[in-house]
Structure 1
Amino acid sequence: MSNKIIRHWRKLILNSIKFLLVAIAILFATSVYAQGIEPRWFAIKQIDVKIAGLDPAFEGYKIVQLTDLHARSAVMDRNQLAKVARLANQQQPDAIVLTGDYITKNASKAEEMLANAFGILKAKDRVIATMGNHDRGENSTPIERALKAGNVKLLNNDVYSIERQGHLLNIAGVDDVWFKRADIAKTISKLPATGTNILLAHEPDFGDIAARTDRFDLQLSGHSHGGQIVLPFAPRVTPPWGKKYINGLYRIGEMQIYVSPGVGTTGPPKARFNCRPEISVIVLHQV
């Protein structure tokens, strides 16, 4: 074999090794970022929602939505939960709504840290919650105790009304859809005859059912995590009941729906990429 050929193959091998090392370095850096940095890099996102018929008393009404906490996951320990609660308070909300999946599993082990975080939350009117599929997938009593300890109003197919100047903002909540505990008829039966109606439903694709009732102006949901790992030109992988409405603001007939990517992570992989955890600030406006 000639020296020229040997040099050619040597150069080719060295270049291949360099390329491989660069690729490994990029993959390692991406893994560190996706598992260690982005899941802790909370975005504060304001969403302005125009609602027909909203009374002037509720113009600019601010609702902070927290969803999919997944306490005791790789990144959501007691300190992180408390940080999320303090960030929510800093938005000076009129109301805080929690739309489910407070745990991934082992609710009893997360009870104390959840109660601590719920107790930190402060809103001018009320902190209101509904349950998610992970919560109802096992014994949810510890979560219910934690919510009660934090003075959070849990809505299981129920309604909580906020009154200002004689006008109502009705916040309804259905129990978990995945485990067939949502009872929209029962929920609607408790709605007052007047006021703006907001529905809390953990699973966003329930919006198609809610919209058909013509009783709700806005639905707030989580569940999808926004796909959690978002890659260019690749479809987002999301769970059942979270495949149609994945992230952001949508309109279904006369009803709008906002789907938050949530603040926690689940997996595998327990990581986020190009889909930061979000504290959602919903601000209501008259049309």
Structure 2
Amino acid sequence: MRIGFIGLGNIGGPCARHVLAAGNELTVADLDHDAQQRLVDAGAQEAAHPAGVAEASEAVLLSLPSPEASCAVVTGEDGILSTASPASVVVDLSTNSAGVTEDLFKACAAAGVDYIDCPVSGGSVGAEAGTLTLMPSGDETAFGRVKDVLLCFGNEETQWLGPSGTGTLIKLINNQVFLVGTQVFAEGYLMAAKAGLDMPRFLDVLRGSSAGFYMLLSEMIVNRQWDDSTYDLSLAEKDLRLALESSEQIDTPLPLTRAAHGVLEQAVQLGLGDKFFIGALEALEHEAGFTVPVPPQED
């Protein structure tokens, strides 16, 4: 199948390589010339802009950092819709708001193009392994035409989820639960440390109790392992902001999510945007006037 891929970063790059390795014809574009060249060296064709990718492709996959980028690539000057053939498919792997997803679906439909919102979960590790969780929604027939391509990098149990926007909303809620839950542990950990509790005993009790559900990344938080990131704090801030924007459309209050977003926002202002998202602990420490020490390493 003739596939286009726009956005070749930590998620898009590995996904595009899987698509190419499966024997598809691939045309790529990215603002990062080095990322684009790596795919060209592997056998892909390159295009100067999204319109060139669409012109060469039956389906175009997007993996972009923001809703603004998705809108520009699809509907902007030299965007996909300026050259896409009717009945072609746009599959957006990016995380957008519900409103942006609706706008892109309508813009593509007006041009006779199918738009599938298909956000992913699993990070760069899942992308490299080809095991991402995919959340596709839109036209079910259009999804059927590109399902085999998506399975090049996605979980084999991937299923169509429903009308356009369903996948986007599920992804936003997934991130909301994960990010807020992780921050809840960080708050409790900071409180215990500042109170002078015996931290090894404290952590042992939590692990064996109901709080253990919130301790997925506790070891990384305790050891302050957020310099190497697979999910930047700035992206986490963006994802919670999009969840809040979407909740307003659905008229659903999200007070915990709003509070967690405020912490991430403050962390970005402190210069932590390129750290792993658990580095938001530093924003909490800043407010508390206390830095949790790293425990001594056991022999």
| Higher-helix-fraction structure | 2
| Higher-strand-fraction structure | 1
Fold match (TM-score > 0.5):
no
TM, length-normalised to structure 1: 0.32
Bigger relative contact order (CA 8 A; separation at least 6): 1
TM, length-normalised to structure 2: 0.31
In terms of Rg, which structure is larger? 1
